[in-house]
Structure 1
């Protein structure tokens, strides 16, 4: 029996391999119980082009709890704005093996509403 983390990482590897085949810029999401992080990573996979997370002090002022849907929406909005400022319109969504549900879904929908296409 595999443990939860190994299963998630296996799913993440499969998705990343598919995205690498597309040669697409990816929006990668990582979540912990307290925080959520989002990065826009270049097609070669070597450079972070835009990032946002609930660890940042300016977000901490707006969102006291980083582990909820409201915080995820704030991060999604911010990462989309930063990506557009860097000249990125289209990304591939990399949910890092997490279910497309709850905070991950909220971040994705907020990013879409703020101009990222995926």
Structure 2
């Protein structure tokens, strides 16, 4: 059976999920990439709720700006440290710039 890019990403996602402690009490920042947009969201795994999310068109500057805005919202609710879930996507490009934006706003990832 041939493995597609999607199959490889799902395999990476499962491997990452095993290593992450989803119930550590920290909020989780997750990422999803579509063909047109990058979505970032903040989830509370204990209460099983998404607190807020942002969408941006693909582009390094917009992704970084999106990360900074998420960081500002996290600061408002007095969160200093989060766990980043890259959802199996490789850590480069838009994903990397979004995390850099989070770090710029003072959030420990």
- Normalised-by-shorter TM-score class: 0.7 to 0.9
Q: 1:67 aligns with which of 52, 58, 61?
A: 58
Question: Could you give the per-residue CA deviations for residues 38-68 of structure 1, whole angstroms, max 9, x where no partner exists?
Answer: 11111327111232112xxxxxxxxxxx111
State the TM-score, normalized to the length of structure 2.
0.87
Equivalenced residues, count = 107
Choose the corresponding residue for 1:77, options 68, 76, 79.
68
Q: Work out the CA distance in 2 between the residues paired with 1:99 and 1:93.
A: 13
Higher mean C-alpha displacement, 9-18 vs 101-110: 9-18
- Cross-structure match for 1:32: 34
Runs of 4+ aligned residues of structure 1 deviating over 4 Å after TM superposition are none
Q: TM-score, normalised by structure 1?
A: 0.81
Unmatched 5+ stretches in structure 1: 55-65
Aligned partner of 2:82 among 74, 77, 91:
91
Q: Which has the higher strand share?
A: 2
State the alpha-carbon separation in 2 of the partners of residues 94 and 34 from structure 1. Answer: 20
Name the one with the larger helix percent.
1
CA RMSD of aligned residues (A): 1.7
